[in-house]
């Protein structure tokens, strides 16, 4: 039992009883105890918690265990971190449903993504390997605030009026500099359209491709099933899947597809994690040039490559045939809804017009803020800080898989925020996913993302929001679930 008196009086005492034989991780026991006291009204809003070091000493645990518990409760909305490094009980309690969902998951980010984007946190879920998340608890609030303040104090009033569909010139310029420097694009400010993330970007593009006479679009198989595939079907385009191998899409199948456009994730195929080879990139470009086709390059997470510099964007090879799509969803926060397109010149006016029709332009203050944030070098700084965080989580995942599930086969390059691991042939993917859910583990299989519906079974591990202890716990739960499937 650790009995720690905080500096705010007897009502704020933390009476935490740790049971080292319970089989429940210590950080979870600390979380549960503090959460229950807050919910019971025993810790009032604004009460300070003991410093992590003090509580760790009092409980006889390492400081990291307490930090993980505090971070989880901050993510759930029970606690807030204050500058100066102290932590307080939040002013208002999170809604019961969100709180109870989040309280069962070992994530640093409680909110499930909307249907289809990541696994939801169902009742009884202990660890959630849902994909498509970013650790928003790491959002660079202070630096972003400096940029907001700069924008609000320096921008003339007339800049807050309606804009054209392309977005603000300051952001076109800073993004071009960034993309040409870091991603090897050949972007020019006049060819950019700012949009609400990739989701809107691909929607605008599909509309415009249809206006320009497109009939058929090729998509990677497997690939995400909640954007291009749905939008293209709704717009009346034929959708054809191009099989993906270890090195990305198989270009010979693209030649047979008779498509007017192809959507690719060449720097880090989603979900299987391969990178399109230089030869295949050149071949895809030749295909596009010969057919007058468009390559849509979804560069969703290229900033996170852990073993070397990322391969340059395809757009730099053929700016007249490739639409480059970037997003702040992986690097800053999906809720910002900030994305950007670098377009072949002949598509710019129509995409900008579609953007005006869709929403009359993206919010100007956010665009100017992001431009200032980029220009100050804060984006680079944030990425330098985040790469080792995600890399450690990825290493923890691969280490746990090696230890507990050596016959699963992780695929793909050292990059991004998720890993696919292939299952041995005797294990049925759906049975493993179902058994995992019974053990409190949310995880997606690769199957639902296939277009032709065939291929080896695999699991998608999203690790971006999970601490290393939660990752280890999740893999241990999976190992138990797989034992059940093997010996029912
Ligand atoms: C393959 C892929 N592309 C792009 C995105 C980003 O989408 P958005 O920018 O709309 O948030 C995601 C999000 O998970 C994704 O999985």
pLDDT of residue 260: 98
Q: Contact at 8 Å (CB) between 254 and 242?
A: yes
Q: Which atom of ligand 1 is nearest to the CA of 117?
A: 14
197 Cβ inside 6 Å of ligand 1: yes
Distance 198 CA to ligand 1 centre (A): 6
132 Cβ inside 6 Å of ligand 1: yes
Q: Which atom of ligand 1 is nearest to the CA of 330?
A: 6
Q: Which atom of ligand 1 is nearest to the CA of 113?
A: 14
Centroid of chain to Cα 411? 18
Task: Name every residue whose Cβ is closer than 8 Å to that of residue 51 and which is 6 or more positions away in sequence.
Answer: 85, 86
Omega within 30 of 0 (cis) for the link into 271: yes
pLDDT of residue 81: 86
Q: Which atom of ligand 1 is nearest to the CA of 199?
A: 10
416 Cβ inside 6 Å of ligand 1: no
Q: How far is the CA of 373 from the CAs of 51, 381, 388, 410, 471, in angstroms?
A: 32, 10, 21, 36, 32
Note down pLDDT in tens along the chain; length 488 residues.
444 443 333 333 577 889 888 888 898 889 888 888 888 888 888 888 998 988 999 899 999 999 988 888 887 788 988 877 788 998 877 654 433 333 333 444 333 333 335 445 556 789 999 999 999 999 999 999 999 999 999 999 999 999 899 999 999 999 999 999 999 999 999 999 999 999 999 999 999 999 999 999 999 999 999 999 999 999 999 999 999 999 889 999 999 999 999 999 999 999 999 999 999 999 999 999 999 999 999 999 999 999 999 899 999 999 999 999 999 999 999 999 999 999 999 999 999 999 999 999 999 999 999 999 999 999 999 999 999 999 999 999 999 999 999 999 999 999 999 999 999 999 999 999 999 999 999 999 999 999 998 899 999 999 999 999 999 999 999 999 999 999 87
d(CA 287, CA 282): 9
Distance 217 CA to ligand 1 centre (A): 18
Q: Contact at 8 Å (CB) between 71 and 137?
A: yes
User: Which of 3.90.1150.10, 3.30.465.10, 2.60.40.10, 3.50.40.10 would CATH assign to domain 107-139+383-486?
Assistant: 3.90.1150.10
Q: Which atom of ligand 1 is nearest to the CA of 133?
A: 14
Distance 431 CA to ligand 1 centre (A): 27
Alpha helix ranges (H) inside 303-377 = 345-359, 364-375
pLDDT of residue 94: 67
Distance 15 CA to ligand 1 centre (A): 43
Q: Which atom of ligand 1 is nearest to the CA of 270?
A: 1
Taking alpha carbons only, the member of 216, 224, 275 closest to residue 448 is 224
Q: CA dihedral in degrees (457, 459, 460, 461; nearest 10)?
A: -160
Q: Which atom of ligand 1 is nearest to the CA of 132?
A: 14
199 Cβ inside 6 Å of ligand 1: yes
pLDDT in tens, 313-366: 999 999 999 999 999 999 999 999 999 999 999 999 999 999 999 999 999 999
Distance 330 CA to ligand 1 centre (A): 8
CATH entry 3.30.420.240 includes domain 143-379: no
Angle at 334 between CA 273 and CA 154, to 5 degrees: 130
Distance 80 CA to ligand 1 centre (A): 29
Distance 39 CA to ligand 1 centre (A): 35
Q: Which atom of ligand 1 is nearest to the CA of 327?
A: 9
Label the pairing between strands 409-410 and 418-422: antiparallel
Alpha helix ranges (H) inside 155-250 = 169-182, 197-211, 228-234
pLDDT of residue 65: 92
Distance 78 CA to ligand 1 centre (A): 29
d(CA 92, CA 85): 20
Distance 300 CA to ligand 1 centre (A): 6
pTM above 0.85, yes or no: no
Distance 329 CA to ligand 1 centre (A): 7
198 Cβ inside 6 Å of ligand 1: yes
Label the pairing between strands 192-195 and 216-221: unpaired
Alpha helix ranges (H) inside 220-363 = 228-234, 251-255, 278-291, 345-359
267 Cβ inside 6 Å of ligand 1: no
Q: Class of the 2-94 domain?
A: mainly alpha
Q: Residue 88 in 3-state DSSP? A: strand
pLDDT of residue 22: 83
Domain boundaries, the chain: 2-94, 107-139+383-486, 143-379
């Amino acid at each position: 039992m650790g009995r720690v008196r905080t500096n705010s009086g007897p009502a704020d005492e933390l009476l935490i009883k740790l049971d080292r034989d319970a089989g429940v991780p210590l950080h979870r026991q600390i979380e549960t105890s503090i959460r229950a006291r807050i919910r019971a009204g025993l810790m009032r809003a604004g009460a300070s918690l003991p410093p992590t070091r003090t509580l760790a000493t009092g409980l006889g645990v390492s400081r990291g265990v307490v930090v993980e518990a505090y971070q989880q409760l901050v993510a759930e909305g029970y606690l807030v971190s204050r500058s100066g490094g102290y932590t307080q009980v939040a002013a208002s309690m999170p809604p019961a449903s969100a709180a109870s969902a989040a309280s069962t998951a070992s994530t640093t980010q409680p909110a499930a993504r909307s249907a289809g984007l990541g696994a939801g946190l169902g009742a009884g879920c202990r660890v959630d390997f849902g994909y498509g998340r970013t650790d928003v608890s790491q959002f660079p609030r202070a630096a972003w605030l400096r940029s907001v303040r700069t924008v609000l104090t320096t921008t003339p009033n007339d800049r807050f009026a309606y804009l054209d569909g392309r977005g603000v010139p300051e952001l076109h310029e800073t993004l071009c500099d960034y993309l040409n420097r870091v991603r090897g694009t050949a972007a020019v400010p006049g060819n950019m359209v700012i949009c609400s993330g990739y989701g809107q970007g691909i929607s605008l593009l599909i509309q415009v491709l249809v206006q320009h006479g497109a009939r058929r679009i090729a998509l990677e198989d497997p690939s995400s099933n909640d954007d291009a595939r749905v939008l293209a079907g709704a717009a009346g385009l034929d959708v054809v899947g191009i099989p993906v191998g270890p090195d990305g899409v198989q270009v010979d199948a693209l030649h047979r597809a008779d498509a007017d456009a192809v959507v690719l994730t060449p720097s880090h195929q989603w979900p299987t994690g391969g990178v399109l080879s230089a030869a295949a990139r050149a071949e895809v470009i030749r295909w596009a040039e010969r057919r007058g086709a468009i390559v849509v390059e979804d560069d969703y997470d290229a900033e996170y490559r852990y073993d070397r510099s990322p391969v340059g964007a395809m757009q730099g090879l053929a700016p007249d045939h490739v639409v480059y799509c970037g997003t702040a969803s992986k690097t800053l926060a999906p809720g910002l809804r900030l994305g950007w397109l670098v377009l072949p010149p002949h598509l710019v006016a129509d995409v900008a017009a579609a953007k005006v029709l869709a929403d009359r332009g993206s919010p100007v203050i956010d665009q100017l803020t992001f431009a200032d944030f980029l220009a100050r070098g804060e984006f680079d700084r944030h990425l330098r800080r985040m790469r080792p965080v995600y890399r450690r989580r990825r290493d923890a995942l691969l280490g746990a898989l090696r230890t507990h599930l050596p016959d699963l086969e992780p695929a793909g390059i050292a990059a991004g925020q998720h890993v696919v691991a292939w299952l041995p042939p005797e294990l049925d993917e759906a049975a493993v996913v179902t058994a995992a859910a019974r053990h409190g583990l949310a995880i997606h299989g690769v199957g639902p993302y296939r277009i032709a519906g065939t291929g080896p079974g695999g699991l998608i591990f999203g690790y971006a929001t999970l601490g290393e202890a939660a990752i280890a716990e999740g893999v241990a739960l999976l190992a138990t679930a797989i034992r059940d499937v093997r010996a029912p």
